Amino acid sequence: MDVNAFLDGFSLVTEPQNLLYCLIGVLIGMLIGVLPGLGPAATIAILLPITYSIDPVSAIIMLAGIYYGAQYGGTITSVLLRLPGEASSVVTVFDGFALAKQGKAGTALGIAAIGSFVGATVSILGLTLVAPLIAGWALNFGDPEYAALALLGVLLVATIGNGNKLKAMIAAALGLLLATVGRDSFSGAERFTFGSLQLTEGIDFVVVAMGLFGVGEILYNLEERHGKPHVPAAIANIWPSRKDLKQSSGAIGRGSLIGFVLGVLPGGGAVMSSLAAYATEKRISKHPERFGRGAIEGVAAPETANNAAATSSFIPLLTLGIPANASMAMLFGALLILGISPGPQLVEERPDLFWGVINSMYIGNLILLILSIPLVGIFVRILRVRPAILAPITALITILGVYTINNSTFDIFVMIVFGLIGYLMKKVGFEPGPMVLAFVLGSIVEDGFRRSMLIFDGDPTGFFTRPISGTILAAFVLVALWPAAKAILARRKTATVTPAPAERDDVDTPTR
């Protein structure tokens, strides 16, 4: 590891401007984490136009802050309202809300904040040490490896989710197709442009993301919200006692490791790791019956793990250029806008950005710890702001924001179309996440595939005979066929039970 570059990164982060953007990022993250509705991916999408007007390093520091800040905020609503602000805090609801009912909401939030901080910090340390090594190793990757890796990334994100896997894979494939719109970079032929001049340059990633995630979620929330006012429980004594700390220390330690490892895997991320950490605690506990009735470990483990995972999911993005989840896909897009292609060369070519972003997380998490322990009362009060007041503000940010990218009303209409598509996809049970991710990776897969075919002289078996791309593709096949194989096995087992279990229940990952 280049120690000088690492230290330079710190001096960059402590510049007042970058500190300010880091603070703004984590504040926004925490805020949207607390407010049910917009998730981190949607928020980053809506704010992407900002990256055109501020310094690249500051922009990425801010957007990254939104992502990990949201993990802290999501806890608050889980504990106080039994409403997970983020998907990764769903499992915190069980014990967190039980503790709140016993009047120990403060303790639960305090432990969650401390666990989050420890998990994230352990994970950043891991990131600091591991990322340069992976980047160095990946420098040997050629086109076939990248094509295979990007394809595997798309597939993993599509299959390791909560929804139906077939639908997620269709959405991902649609994203790949969408990425081909415009002029073909090899032959100059126009594809799917239907004579439109504006489509010749391809569809702008920012516009697609703002439509599918931003507008799609805004419209969806408009329908789901039934004007329910949120009345959070009162909280007191946020500082956990020494006994609570002692009781949760094991859970925090294990949660950090589980989160770090699962976060690195594409598609693993915060949701999966919070479930796995909770399950581990319950499994090894001497009194598993306490879980769900207010066990402090049941809050500590998932909250630690989801923050550790949120942090370590930066590893594949910063070292391989493969986003591990929808929020990382947004950051990937932001980097592309700034003219930086994320990949193994990033640490050499842009050490300022690489170390600036990583080191900003040490500071961002410290800010979050302060925000979520002494200042938690302020965020609880934000829960009383009616969602109806925030909706038009987000709507305006989105429309005016997308216009400012190219000063183009055409972009607004493209965004509205994708917003409608995103909304309808949600209504019929398709997640837009895999589609956006595949859209981002589409050109990597296609270009890699076509250049590889040139290298292999038209022989597609070349992908399988190269050791690294062969291994990646073998993993691809395994992941692709796993749900089907499991469904068949399960069907055999329960042949007597009707109806046969739907395969969407398979939330197990092949990575376990």
Partner 1 sequence: MSDERTPAPDQDILAEIQAEVAHDLEEERPPAGGPAYQVVGALVALVVGIGGAVLSYGYGMGTLRQPGPGMWPFVVSIAIALMAVALLVVGRGLTDSEKFTRSSVLPAVGLVTFIVLALLMPVIGFEIPSLLLCVVWLRFLGGESWRSTIITSIVTVAAFYFLFLYGLRIPLPHLF
Q: Of 101, 184, 234, 488, which one interacts with partner 1 (CB under 8 A)?
A: 184
| Interacting residues with partner 1 between 39 and 58 (CB under 8 A) | 53
Q: Of 413, 468, 475, 482, which one interacts with partner 1 (CB under 8 A)?
A: 413
Q: 417-450: buried (b, 16+ CB within 10 Å) or exposed (e) per residue? A: ebbebbbebbeeebbbbbbbbbbbbbbbbbbbbe
- Pick 95 or 244: Cβ nearer partner 1: 95
Answer yes or no whether residue 338 interacts with partner 1 by CB under 8 A: no
Q: Of 14, 102, 180, 241, which one interacts with partner 1 (CB under 8 A)?
A: 180
**Angle between the N-to-C axes of helices 143-159 and 467-493, in degrees from 0 to 180, rounded to the nearest 10:** 20
Answer yes or no whether residue 453 interacts with partner 1 by CB under 8 A: yes
Answer yes or no whether residue 505 interacts with partner 1 by CB under 8 A: yes
Answer yes or no whether residue 427 interacts with partner 1 by CB under 8 A: yes
- Pick 73 or 175: Cβ nearer partner 1: 175
CB of 201 to partner 1, least distance (A): 16
CB of 283 to partner 1, least distance (A): 5
Q: Is 249 exposed, middle or buried (0-12, 13-18, 19+ CB in 10 A)?
A: middle
Answer yes or no whether residue 222 interacts with partner 1 by CB under 8 A: yes
End-to-end CA distance of the chain: 30
Which tokens in the block code for residue 94?
């069980």
Q: Of 140, 195, 229, 283, which one interacts with partner 1 (CB under 8 A)?
A: 283
Residue 71 and residue 90: Cα distance in Å, rounded? Answer: 11
Q: Of 446, 463, 466, 476, which one interacts with partner 1 (CB under 8 A)?
A: 446
The count of residues interacting with partner 1 (CB under 8 A) is 87
Residue 477 and residue 472: Cα distance in Å, rounded? Answer: 9
Answer yes or no whether residue 224 interacts with partner 1 by CB under 8 A: yes
Q: Which stretch binds partner 1 (CB under 8 A): 127-135, 306-314, 331-339, 450-458?
A: 450-458
Residue 117 and residue 124: Cα distance in Å, rounded? Answer: 10
Which tokens in the block code for residue 415?
């965004």
Asked if residue 340 lies in contact with residue 353, where contact means CB atoms within 8 angstroms, the answer is yes
Answer yes or no whether residue 278 interacts with partner 1 by CB under 8 A: yes
Of the candidates 281, 309, 308, 310, which has an alpha carbon nearest to the alpha carbon of residue 296? 281
Answer yes or no whether residue 400 interacts with partner 1 by CB under 8 A: yes
Distance of CA 192 to the CA centre of its chain: 30
Grouping H, G, I as helix, E, B as strand and the rest as coil, residue 182 is strand
Q: Which string of x and - marks every residue 461-480 that binds partner 1 (by CB under 8 A)? A: --------------------
- Pick 349 or 505: Cβ nearer partner 1: 505
Q: Which stretch binds partner 1 (CB under 8 A): 63-71, 211-219, 306-314, 323-331?
A: 211-219
Grouping H, G, I as helix, E, B as strand and the rest as coil, residue 191 is strand
Q: Which stretch binds partner 1 (CB under 8 A): 1-9, 133-141, 361-369, 424-432?
A: 424-432
Q: Which string of x and - marks every residue 355-394 that binds partner 1 (by CB under 8 A)? A: -------------------------------xxxx-xxx-
Neighbours of 92 (CB within 10 A): 28
Q: Of 134, 233, 279, 340, which one interacts with partner 1 (CB under 8 A)?
A: 279
Q: Rounded to the nearest 5 degrees, what angle is found at the Cα of 229, between the Cα atoms of 226 and 235?
A: 145
Q: Using CA atoms of 350, 22, 312, 270 in order, give the dihedral in degrees to the nearest 10.
A: -140
The residue written with tokens 């049910």 in the block is 36
The residue written with tokens 């292999």 in the block is 456
| Interacting residues with partner 1 between 230 and 249 (CB under 8 A) | none
| Residues sharing a CB contact under 8 Å with residue 320, sequence separation 6 or more, in sequence order | 134, 135, 138, 141, 149, 343, 344
The residue written with tokens 């209409």 in the block is 413
What count of residues does the chain have?
Answer: 512
Answer yes or no whether residue 166 interacts with partner 1 by CB under 8 A: yes
- Pick 282 or 350: Cβ nearer partner 1: 282
Q: Which stretch binds partner 1 (CB under 8 A): 27-35, 102-110, 349-357, 426-434?
A: 426-434
| Interacting residues with partner 1 between 89 and 148 (CB under 8 A) | 90-91, 93-94
